[in-house]
Structure 1
Amino acid sequence: MTQSALTRPDALDPPPPAPAGTARRRRGQGVAYLFLSPWIVGAALLTIGPMVASLYLSFTDYDLFDSPEWVGFDNYATMFTGDERFWHAAWTTTEYVLLSVPLKLALALAVALLLNRPRRGVGLYRSAFYAPSLLGASVSVALAWRALFSTDGTVDEVLAGLGIDTGGWVDQPRYALLTLVALAAWQFGAPMVIFLAGLKQVPRELYEAAAIDGAGPARRLFGITLPMLSPVILFNLVLETINAFQAFTGAFVVSSGRGGPSDSTLLYPLYLYQRGFTDFRMGYASAMAWVLLVVVAALTALVFRSSRRWVFYAGEDR
C-alpha cells in the first residue's frame, strides 16, 4: 500500500453495506433454490444422469450382464447399413404418426367445438370424452382393444354383419396398424381439453361482427376459429407428435410383444425394447434411443420453423 493511499481518510474504511433490496433478493433466491432442490436432484439423478449413461452405452457392446465394451460407432453403422428391421420399424412408426396425429387432433377439435356451445350437462360430456385419455395407456385397455379387433371379436362380428369380412384386424397385416391408430385416436381427451381452453379465449365480438357481415359457419371456422386457435394447434401438434413417436404399450400388448403379424405393428419403441431386453443388446438399444431423440428434436424444430407461416398471435401484424 502506498503512502498516498494511507493518508487518504477513507482508505481503511469498511466497504458500504449492500442495499437492503439486494440482500432480500439473495435470501429469496436461496429459498427458491431450497424448494427447487428436490426437482434439481431428481432431474440430475433420474434424467440427466441416465441420458449421459445411455449416450456412453450407445458406443459400447453391452448385454446387461458383462461390462460394457467400447465399439465406437459400430452400433450406428450396423443400424443404418445392416439392420433391415430398423428401417421397417422406422417406416411403420412414420406411418403411425402420419395417420394417428392428424386424426386425433381432428377428433379433438371437432368434439371441442361441439362442447364449446352452452348446453345442459356439458360438464358430464367433457368428463366422459376426457376419460379415455386417462385409461388409454393402460395394459388393461390395450387388452380389451385387442379382444375387440381380434378374429370373431366385436368389431369383426359387426363388420361381418354388414357384409365386410376382414378376418379380424389384429390378425391381418394390412389392418393391424389401423387398430393402433384407432386406439390412439380414441384417446383424444387431452388435446380436446386444451382446444376447449383455447376456444374460450376467442373474443365473441369477432363472431358477432362476422355474422353481421353474413359469414356462414364454414367461413367463421376458417376465418376466425382456426387462425385464433393456431397457437393451441401448434402446441397440440408438437405434443402429440412427440407422444406418437414414443407409442409402446398398445403395440406391445396388441402384438404380444412381437410386432406382428409380419412386423406390421413393429413400432420403433417396441423394436428398441426387443433389442434391449429380448436380445440383450443394450448398447444397440441406447444408440436407437439417441437416433429417435435426434429425429424427434429435428421434426419439432421443423414444425416450429414452419409455424411462422401459419401461427397467428393476437396483436401481431401479418
Structure 2
Amino acid sequence: MTRTAARPPDLAAAPVPARERGRLPGDGVAGYLFLSPWILGIVALTLGPMLTSLYLSFTDYDLFGTPEWVGLDNYGRMFSDSRWLNSLQVTALYVVLAVPVKLAAALAVAVLLDNRRGGQGFYRAAFYGPSLIGGSVSIAIVWKVVFSDDSVVDRLLRAVGIDTGGWAGNPDFSVLMLVLLAVWQLGAPMVIFLAGLKQVPRDLYEAAEVDGAGPWRRFRSITLPMISPVVFFNLVLEVINAFQVFTSAYVVGGPNGQPAGSTLFYTVYLFDRGFGDYRMGYASAMAWMLLLGVGLVTAFLFRTARGWVHYSGDAR
C-alpha cells in the first residue's frame, strides 16, 4: 500500500502574531490625538503652574510688577516668621487630632454597618452624606454659629455645668471644633473600610469564635490585620487632606486665624500672604515647603508600614 506523505502546513496561510504585525500608518498619531486633552490639561493646569510657582518662590513678586530674583531669601525668611511657625503648630495639632479620631470613628461605623440587617442602604447614605457637603462654605458658617457663644452647644454644656464661652471664640477649643467638623465628614473613609471588611473571610471569625475568642479579640487579631492595607490607604489620604484644610478654617477664623491665631492654618496663612499682602513669591515658597513636608510625612508612613501592614501572600 502506498502511503501519502503528510502535506506540510501552508506557512503563508498561518496567522501572524499580533506582536509581529507592523503598525498601521497613523496609529501613533491617532493615539496622541486621543491623549491630547489629558496632555494639554496636565501641561496647562498642573505642570505649568507648578513650574511657575517654583520659579516665583525664588523671586520677590507682588502680582503687579516684574518678579525680582532673590534666591533662597523667601525660604530662609520663613524660619524667622513667627506667624509661619504658629501656622505650622496649628496645622500639626490639627493633623495629630483629626486624622486618628476620624479614622477610628469611620472604622467603628463601618464595623457596625458590616452586617446583614435591613436598612443598610439608608444608614450608609446617611453617614456618607456629610462628606459630600461638609467642605462647603455654608456648612462652615453653620458650624461656626452652632459653636459660637450662647448657641446650641454652649447652652447644652452650660446645662451640665461646663461654661466655655463658645468654642468659636475660645482659643482653647477652636481647633477642637474644626476637628469635630472633620470627624463629621467620615463618609469617604467609612465606605473604603466597608469594602475592606467585605473581603475578610467569615470562616476566620467562625473558627476564632469556636476557640473562645471574644468580639474584641476577633477584631484585634483578625479584622485589623486583614484590613491593614485599607487602614494604611485611608491614613495616607487623610493625612494629606488634613495638611490642606482651608475652607472651614478660613470661614471660622478669617485670614488672621481668630481667635488669637488659634485657627491660623498653614494654607490660610499661605493664602493671606499671597492674596492679602501680595507677597506671591513668599507664598509660592510656602507652597513648596508644604509639598516637601507632606512628602516627608508620607515617606515616613510608608517606611513604618513595613512593620504593621500585611498584604495577601506576604510571608511575614
Shared fold (TM-score, shorter chain, > 0.5): yes
Q: What's the counterpart of residue 58 of structure 1?
A: 57
The one-character-per-residue Cα deviations of 1:85-118 (angstroms, maximum 9, x if unpaired) are 1111001100000000000000000000000111
How does the TM-score come out when normalised to structure 1?
0.91
Deviation at residue 32 of structure 1 after TM alignment: 4.7
**Structure 2: which 5+ runs fail to align?**
1-15
Q: Which amino acid aligns with 1:234?
A: F
- Secondary structure at 1:23's aligned position in 2? coil
Mapped partners of 1:206, 1:31: distance in 2 = 51
Distance 1:203 1:26 in 2: 51
Structure 2 distance, partners of 1:160, 1:64, is 49
**Residue pair 2:228, 2:309 contacting (<8 A) in 1 also:** yes
Question: What's 1:75 paired with?
Answer: 74
Which residue does the alignment assign to 1:304?
302
Alpha-carbon distance in 1 for matches of 2:279, 2:20: 57
Structure 1: distance between partners of 2:151 and 2:241: 28
1:24 is displaced (CA, Å) by: 5.1
Residue in 1 that maps onto 2:89? 91
In the alignment, the residues of structure 1 paired with residue 207 and residue 288 of structure 2 have an alpha-carbon distance, to the nearest angstrom, of 51
What are the superposed Cα offsets for residues 211-270 of structure 1, whole Å, 9 maximum, x if unpaired?
111111111101010001100011000000000000000100011332111100100000
Aligned to 2:39: 40
Paired residue secondary structure (1:313): coil
Give secondary structure in 1 for the equivalent of 2:259: coil
Aligned partners of 1:26 and 1:195: how far apart in 2?
A: 48
In structure 1, the partner of 2:3 is none
Unaligned runs of 5+ in 1: 1-16
Compared CA separation, residues 67 and 27, structure 1 to 2 (3 A): same
Aligned equivalents of 2:104, 2:191: Cα separation in 1: 13
Letter in 1 for 2:34: F
Q: Counterpart of 1:275?
A: 273
Q: Give 3-state SS (helix, strand or coil) of 2:227's partner.
A: helix
CA drift at 1:30:
5.5
Is 1:162 the counterpart of 2:170? The answer is no
Q: Match for 1:180: what amino acid? A: L
1:203 and 1:35 mapped to 2: Cα distance?
42
Q: How does 1:113-152 map to 2 (within 5 A)?
A: 113-152=111-150
Please tell me the residue identity of whatever aligns with 1:133. Answer: S
- Within the candidate set 208, 214, 218, 2:216 is matched to 218
Classify 1:277/1:25 alpha carbon distance in 2 versus 1 (closer, same or farther; 3 Å): same
- Contact persistence 2:141–2:251 (CA under 8 A): yes
User: Which residue identity lines up with residue 158 of structure 1 in the other structure?
Assistant: L
On the 8 A contact 2:255/2:269 being kept in 1, the answer is no
Separation in 1 of the partners of 2:19 and 2:222?
51
Question: Separation in 2 of the partners of 1:26 and 1:189?
Answer: 49
Inter-partner Cα distance in structure 1 for 2:152 and 2:101: 23
